[in-house]
Structure 1
Amino acid sequence: MAELGARVRAERRARGMALERLAEVSGVSRSMVSEVERGTKTPSVLVLDRLATALGTSIARLLDEPVRPEVTILPRERQHVVRDPSGWERRVLSPVLPDVEFEFMRTTLEPGVDAGAFAPHPPGSHEYVAVESGRLRLTVGGVPHLLAAGDSAYFPGDRWHAFANDAADVCAYYLAMALGRADGAHHRPKASRT
């Protein structure tokens, strides 16, 4: 947690952003941001995503240092897995590369789990979803789309989006996300979640 906190703080400072501003832009309480940066609180996946989005970066970049080789092997035991207490987990499959804001991950949602709403990423962001097993309710801009095993979808990442499993079976899906360029001035609706 100390390394994660240090990376969040470094990303915030690199953007010249005050702690209060990060809290305001992300919709995460100032006290939670402070605790995450100090390494005293483990953020949920949703909180981590909100912080990454507000910083114009990815969860993967907050969890790991960039690598430089041309070919990078990321063994399973070195892949970061973030588990949310509500019954879902996200495994980051892509290495963090310098100057590349791309994330490839596998998410598992237990039956009846709603992962919540993810804030819009910077303009020009793109997200691709492919369902491996089960059923996924993908909601983009308030419009739900039901996907079954084998289905895939694309959506602009600069809109509110949510993932849920309304079925009685586990849902596993892959998500690839390419973030657009952040100009540091994110104007998003303020969320009340911490």
Structure 2
Amino acid sequence: MALDSSDSTAVGRRIKELRRANGLTQKEFAESLGIVQGFLSSIERGTKTPSDTLQIALCHTYGVSREWLLTGRGGKGAAGGGAPSVPVTPGGAGTPLLGRVSREFPEGVEARDVIGQVALPGIPDGCFAIVVYGDYMAPTIRDGDLAIFTPGGAAEHGSIVLVTNRWGETILRRYREKEGEIFFSPDNAAYAPFQPDPDTRIIGTVVQVWRNVRI
């Protein structure tokens, strides 16, 4: 949701209020959301606007409603948010488009996990597709893009992988190795890289990205 300057200032005040209510420093709060402290500081001052994805992540993590975050009304309830869509066929030949990635993936993919089939040229056999949400990998991959990935836990330095984050959600990050340590980095400098924990799992490697450009 686009915000004007006055809205951004009010949202920034509410985010600051929420952070203080949870007894967190800017550094701690920023780390919990996967962003850098300087970006959070700009949001709290109203000079930067939180993206739709960051709004959703904040509401999900701290249990507030998006209406409250954006308007100050409605109390602090369940978070909600929209999602971009792509045209798909409900069945038949094509690359399976996943609505969710289960913990057992790629074993035992169920019918409820697949929301359609994507028919696009040049996609290798055995791939899956997901709709990308958020601007973490911008400008390389943008909100609403279609990412085609091949399943598997192996990754090469610099490749973009589908990986689980600290909340068990599947996200896209760039796989990095430095001095024997592994990092998962966003392409968008507004967000911070993270290192894997025992529950982190690489689900697959992105091999193609498709973008629906309106002209």
| TM-score in terms of structure 2 length | 0.40
Higher relative contact order (CA 8 A, sep 6+): 1
User: Would you tell me which structure has more strand in proportion to its own residues?
Assistant: 1
| TM-score in terms of structure 1 length | 0.44
| Greater radius of gyration (CA) | 2
